[in-house]
Structure 1
C-alpha cells in the first residue's frame, strides 16, 4: 500500500480526517432517525419475548443499516475528494479498499437478513467463513505469528485457517456483547479509535480514513442506542462492525512492527474477546452447546450484582477504555512494556472473573486445587484400600477396630460410628466375649479425631451413612462417617468408601459373629448372656 504521507502534508490529511468524521457522524444521526421510523412503521422490531431481552417495549433492530449507509457514503465522498486532489490520491489503496468492502457488504447483508427473517448459526458461520476467505484471497492474511512461532511463514492452509479464525472470532465477539443498550457500539468505538491511532502512526492512510469514517457512523448512531435505547444495533450492525475491524486490523498489520501487529489488535478488542472466550469456555465446561443463548454474559452478571442497566454499560465502557489505553501503551514496544501490559490484563481478567462468580470456573478452580492436592488424595485413598484388604482377612473384633482407627486417622473425616444389631442367638454368643461394647442391644464402635468431639447430630458437620451388607446381602448394620465443614475440600475418593469398603467391613463383622457362635457353649436357658456395656 502506497504511503499517503509521501504526497500530502499532515495538515491536509488532518482536515480530511476531521471532515469525514464530522460528515459521517451527521449522516449517521440523520439516517438513524429515518431507519428507526421506517422499521417501526414496517413492523421490523424486536419484541421482548425471551428472558434474555432486557427491554420492555418492541424496538427496531436495524441500526446497522444507518451505520452501514453513513460509513459507505462517507468513505465514497473521501474517495471522490481524493480523486480531485492528486496529492490526496490513494492509488493502489483502492484495491485494498475493495478487498475489504466486498466481503464486508456480504456480512452486512447476512446480518440484515437475520434481523428481518432470522438465520441459523451454521448458515451465519458459513457465510462469514466465505467472507473471511475472500479477505485471504485478496492478500489480507496472517502468514506468521512472530511472538509465538518466530518469523517462519505458515503453509498456506495454516495461514488460511488462522486468518478465518481471527475474522470469525472478532466478528462474532462484537455480536456477542450486543446485549445492553449502547454496549456493543460503545466498545466498538473505543476499538475503532485505537485502530485509527495505530494507522496514523504507521502511516497507513487508508486504514486511518476507513476507521475515522466508521467512528463517526458509530458515534452518530450511539446517540439513539445509549440507554434508554430507541433502536438496536442488530446483527446487521454488530457483524458488520466486527468484520470490518478484523479486516482493518489485518491490513494495518501489514505495515506495523511485530508486537504492534499481533498484540495491539488483541488487547484493543479486549472486552469482546474476553466475553467470547468466557462464553465458549463455560458452555464447554458445563456440557452445553456453544451456540446456546443464556443470561450469564458479563453484563448479565453485573446486573445480578445490583448495578443498573446504565451503570453496567458505563462500567464496561471503562473496561473498554482501559483495554484501549493498554493497547496504545504497546506502540512503544519493549520487553518490559509487553510484560507489564500482559500482567495488568491477566490480573484484571482473573480478578474480574472471580468477582463475577461463574460456577463453571469455580469448578475448574476446584479441579485444579484437587490436582495440586493429588499426592495427599493418593495417600488417603491408599489408607482406605489398605484397610479394605486387611478387613477381608480380619477375624477379631479388636483387630477390626484397630484397622478402622488407622484408616480414618490418615484421612479427612473427623468421626466414625458403627452400629450393629446382632440376632438374639448372636447376642447371647457375643456376650461371652470380652471387649465388645453393647448398648441397647447393639454393638457400638465410635471414634473421634483427637482434639475433636463430634456428637451425633452435631451442627456444622456433614456425613455419610453406609449400610453394611455382606457379600451374601445380609444386613449387619450401618456405618456413619462425619466431617466438619471446611473451606478445604475432602481429599479422598468417596467412591472407595461406598463400593468395596462397606462390604469388607460387613464380612469381617459377620466372621466375628459366626466365630463367636461357634465358640459359645450350647445352652437352652440363655446362659452366656451378659449385661450390655455402654460404648
Structure 2
C-alpha cells in the first residue's frame, strides 16, 4: 500500500513535467494565433515575444486537479469528493484564461477584461465556499459576520483587487512567476499548519498551482523565451485571490493578516501606485513607469538583479507571515509595525511615491541631522512670520 504522501509527491512531479513539456508547445501556439508582445515604450523586450504562457500553467493545473489528484483522494475530512471541490475553480479559471488570451491577441479594453474577471469571481462565490462572509479584527478585535450582499461584494472586490495587483507587477522576465511561487508556497504552509478552519484540500490545491508555475519558470526567467501574458498573470492572480480567501475568513486573528502579508509585493505596489497617481492628479488606472521594478532598473540594477531583489522582498514578506503565526500578540504588532516602516522607507528611498515625496525620510533626517533640523526650523519660522 503506497502512502498518500508518496502518491501526492508523484502527482507534484507529474505536474512539473506536464508544465515543462507544455510550455514549448504553448510558445509555438502563441506565434500561430498572434499572441505576441511587440516592443514599445513601456515594454522591456526588444524583440517580439510570445505570450499566453499561462496556458501551460493552466493546462498542468487542470490535468493534476481534475485528472490526477481525484485518483488518489477519495474522501477526506468529510468534505466530499475533491473533484467537486476543485471543478468550480477550474471552470472560473478557464474563464480568466479565455479573457486573458483574447487580451493577449487583441488587447481588450479595461471594461471587457473586468467583466470576465467579475463573471469568474461570481462563479466562485456561488458554487464554492471561498466567500468573505466573516472577518476577525486582528490583535484582539471582534469577529464580524457579514450579510449575504456584503459578503458577495467583499468577495468580488478582494478577488478583482488581487487579480489586478498581480497583473500590475508583470513587467520583467520571471517576476510574477517567481513571486507567485514564493507566495503560494508560504500560503500552502500556513493553510496546512495554522488555518484551523480549512481542510486538507486547500494546501493540496495550492501546492499543485505552485508546481504548475515552477515548471514554466525556467522558460520565463531572464532571458525569457515566453511571457505569461495576461493569460497567465490574470489566472495566477485570480487563483491566488481565491485561495487566499480562506485565511481572510479564518477565526484566528493572525491568520486574517497573513494573506495580506504574503501578498505584500503586489498589494504594496498597487496601493503605492494608486497613492502616487492620485497625488499627481492622474487617473488611478493610468499606466506609468514608476512601479517597483521600474524604479529598481532606473537605479542601475540589471534585469536579473531587479528580479532577484523583488524575490528577496517577497521572501521577507513570506517569512514575516510565518513568524506572525508563531508570535505573541505583542510580537505580532511589532512585526507589522516594523514591516510597514520598512516598506515606507524603501518606497521613499527608491522614489516610488514620486519626486520629493519622502515625508518619513525627512522626519528621520530632521531627528538625526542637526544642520537639517536648524535649517528646517528656520524655514518654518520664516514662512509663518510673513
Q: TM-score scaled to structure 2, two decimals?
A: 0.87
C-alpha contact 2:275 2:353 (8 A) present in aligned 1:
no
Q: CA deviation at 1:253?
A: 5.2
Give the secondary-structure state (helix, strand or coil) at the position aligned to 1:145. strand
CA-to-aligned-CA distance 1:320-368 (integer Å, 9 cap, x gap): 11111111112225202311320231121011112112454744739x9
Aligned mate of 2:290, from 278, 285, 296: 296
Matches within 5 A, 1:230-241: 230-241=225-236
Residue 147 of structure 1: aligned partner: 137
Query: Structure 1 residues 173 and 96 mapped into 2: Cα distance closer, same or farther (>3 Å)?
Result: same
The answer as to whether partners of 2:187 and 2:206 remain within 8 angstroms in 1 is yes
Match of 1:243 among 238, 245, 256: 238
Retained in 2: the 8 A contact 1:82–1:89?
no
Matches within 5 A, 1:347-366: 347-358=341-352, 360=354, 362-363=356-357, 365=359
Q: How far, CA to CA, are the matches of 2:283 and 2:294 in structure 1?
A: 19
- Establish whether residue 35 from structure 1 lines up as the match of residue 16 from structure 2: no
Distance in 2, Cα, partners of 1:336 & 1:494: 42
Distance 1:303 1:261, change over 3 A: same
Structure 2 gap ranges (5+) = 364-373
Shift of residue 311 of structure 1?
A: 0.3
**Corresponding position of 1:310:** 304
1:288–1:14 Cα change, 3 Å:
same
Q: Look at both structures and tell me which one has the larger radius of gyration over its CA atoms.
A: 1
Shift of 1:316: 0.5
Name the structure 2 match of 1:112: 101
Cα deviations by residue, 1:379-401 (Å, 9 ceiling, x for unpaired): xxxxxxxxxxxxxxxxxxxxxxx
Which of 190, 211, 214 is equivalent to 2:209?
214
Gaps of 5+ in 1: 1-8, 370-484, 498-535
Task: Compute the TM-score of the two structures, normalised by the length of structure 1.
Answer: 0.64
Tell me the alpha carbon deviations over residues 427-465 of structure 1, each in whole angstroms, 9 at most, x when there is no partner: xxxxxxxxxxxxxxxxxxxxxxxxxxxxxxxxxxxxxxx
Establish whether residue 194 from structure 1 lines up as the match of residue 189 from structure 2.
no
Match of 1:276 among 263, 270, 276: 270
Matched ranges for 1:429-468 at <5 A: none
- Report how far residue 27 of structure 1 moved: 0.7
**d(CA) in 1 for partners of 2:281 and 2:378?**
23
Identify the residue that residue 72 of structure 1 maps to in structure 2. Answer: 62
Q: Which has the larger helix fraction? A: 2
Cα distance in 2 between the residues matched to 1:89 and 1:359: 49
Task: Select which of 23, 44, 68 maps to 2:14.
Answer: 23
Instruction: Flag the 1:155–1:88 CA change in 2: closer, same or farther, 3 A.
Output: closer
Distance 1:164 1:21 in 2: 30
**Within-5 A mapping of 1:335-484:** 335-358=329-352, 360=354, 362-363=356-357, 365=359
Partner Cα separation in structure 1 for residue 53 and residue 130 of structure 2: 28
Cross-structure match for 1:97: 86
Deviation of the 1:228 alpha carbon = 0.5
Q: Distance in 2 between matches of 1:489 and 1:220?
A: 60
- 1:93/1:30 CA distance change after superposition, 3 Å: closer
Please state whether the residue corresponding to 1:271 is helix, strand or coil: helix
Measured against aligned partners, the alpha-carbon deviations of 1:70-103 in whole angstroms (never above 9, x if no partner) come to 11011123344136x6679962554432332222
Asked whether 1:126 is paired with 2:126, we answer no
1:103-150 deviation per Cα after TM superposition (whole angstroms, max 9, x unaligned): 222112111111111111122223222322332223321123221662
CA deviation string 1:156-200 (max 9, x = no partner): 222222222211111111101100000011000011101211222
Q: Indicate the residue corresponding to 1:45 in structure 2.
A: 36
Higher strand share: 1
Aligned length: 370
Q: From 168, 189, 193, give the equivalent of 1:176.
A: 168
Match of residue 369 from structure 2: none
Q: Which has the higher contact order (CA 8 A, sep 6+)?
A: 2
- When residues 269 and 165 of structure 1 are mapped into structure 2, their CA distance, relative to the original with a 3 A threshold, is same
CA contact 1:23–1:216 (8 Å) conserved in 2: no
Residue 367 of structure 2 is matched in structure 1 by none
- Is the contact between residue 144 and residue 150 of structure 1 (CA under 8 Å) also seen in structure 2? no
Contact kept, 8 Å, 2:70 with 2:82, in 1: the verdict is no
Q: 1:238 to 1:489 in 2, by over 3 A?
A: farther
8 Å contact 1:192–1:211 — kept in the other structure? yes
